[in-house]
Amino acid sequence: MPTLKNKFACLTDLPSMPVLLMEALQQINGKQDLTTLVDKISQDPSMAVQILRIANSSFYGMSREIGSLREAVVLLGFNRIRDLLISICFSKMLPERHKDFNYRQFWHHSMAVAECTRQLAGLSGNSPDFAFTAGLLHDIGDLVIVMLFPDEFSRLVKVSAKFGIEEEQKILGFNHTTIGGKAAQYWNLPQEIQEAIEQHETYPESATTKSLGLLVYTANLLIVNTEQSDKSALEEHEPICTALAILNISIDQAAHCTDSGRQFANQILTLY
């Protein structure tokens, strides 16, 4: 039976992060250079076209068509363009391979949580810098399992189409939060993002601070629960209410963030 250390060694089989994506992530904390970012994106015509199509989508509701990347950055803002770039790069970076894995559903959920996390960050007074990326990658461990442990994933699907971390732990010896955090570490993503990925399934019983992990945990719960029920059900969901109380966010505000997250995901996937 391979040890966890041996199992995690195969993370080196993951694709390397594209240079464009690395540079976009580095600019989260660094100096924002509009010209450099526009020039880099322009070197990939398909990427430039996708970002322009998204910027011109009904989600942003611009009064006129955005005709250039520079104009898109000016109108939408540097951070928003960077978020779009990160979402496109990551969705292209990890190829579709397993017949039993719903890639479209995975990316729809991931992008909805990303946008919801970004909006929750703003409402709670948290820095939005890492929020979108942490939300986007919160379930990246699922994709890593599919890529690196396809046979075990097939076994999980046979156990239950809606298997959870308990089943993952039993069959794999770890779950998607653990290996997701390890993958983020392998890609040298910021420590805050690594921790948020590892904590996104954790009930905030002892949480008293508005951490990035709590934001992603809350956004994930909101998106999952609105996929299954209506807004009124949120008021009866104790973990959601507990998290929102810590974040000082109302049910109405949370419902708005959730709706925006799902609309964002709908628009992005329509344009892919």
* Domains of the chain in sequence order: 4-270 (1.10.3210.10)
The answer to whether 111 touches 136, Cβ cutoff 8 Å, is yes
Among the listed ranges 118-122, 139-143, 150-154, which one has the minimum average pLDDT value?
A: 150-154
pTM (predicted TM-score): 0.90
223: which residues sit within 8 A by CB, 6+ positions away?
109, 112, 113, 116, 258, 261, 262
pLDDT of residue 182: 94
Q: What is the mean pLDDT of residues 93-122?
A: 90
User: Can you say whether the dihedral through the CA atoms of 72, 118, 268, 106 is positive or negative?
Assistant: positive
pLDDT of residue 230: 63
pLDDT of residue 94: 77
Return d(Cα 56, Cα 47) in angstroms, integer: 14
239: which residues sit within 8 A by CB, 6+ positions away?
203, 204, 221
Q: What is the mean pLDDT of residues 220-233?
A: 77
Distances (CA, A) of 187 to 1, 12, 14, 122, 203: 27, 10, 9, 26, 27
For residues 237 and 105, which has the higher predicted lDDT (pLDDT)? 105
Q: What is the mean pLDDT of residues 123-132?
A: 87
Number of other CB atoms surrounding residue 20 within 10 Å = 18
Average pLDDT, the chain: 86
Work out the pLDDT band at 108, boundaries 50, 70, 90. very high
For residues 31 and 87, which has the higher predicted lDDT (pLDDT)? 87
Predicted confidence (pLDDT) at residue 221 exceeds the cutoff of 90: yes
For residues 141 and 20, which has the higher predicted lDDT (pLDDT)? 141
Count of CA atoms in the C-beta half-sphere (13 A) of 231? 10
Q: What is the mean pLDDT of residues 185-194?
A: 91
Write the Ramachandran bin of 65: left for phi over 0, alpha for psi from -120 to 50, otherwise beta: beta
Predicted confidence (pLDDT) at residue 123 exceeds the cutoff of 80: yes
Number of other CB atoms surrounding residue 46 within 10 Å = 9
pLDDT of residue 126: 84
Number of other CB atoms surrounding residue 60 within 10 Å = 15
pLDDT of residue 209: 67
- DSSP assignment, residue 203? -
Long-range contacts: 152-158, Cβ < 8 Å, 24+?
Answer: 153/98, 153/100, 153/101, 154/98, 154/100, 157/100
Among the listed ranges 133-142, 154-163, 180-189, 221-230, which one has the minimum average pLDDT value?
A: 221-230
Predicted confidence (pLDDT) at residue 156 exceeds the cutoff of 60: yes
138: which residues sit within 8 A by CB, 6+ positions away?
110, 113, 180, 196, 197, 200, 216, 220
Work out the pLDDT band at 204, boundaries 50, 70, 90. low
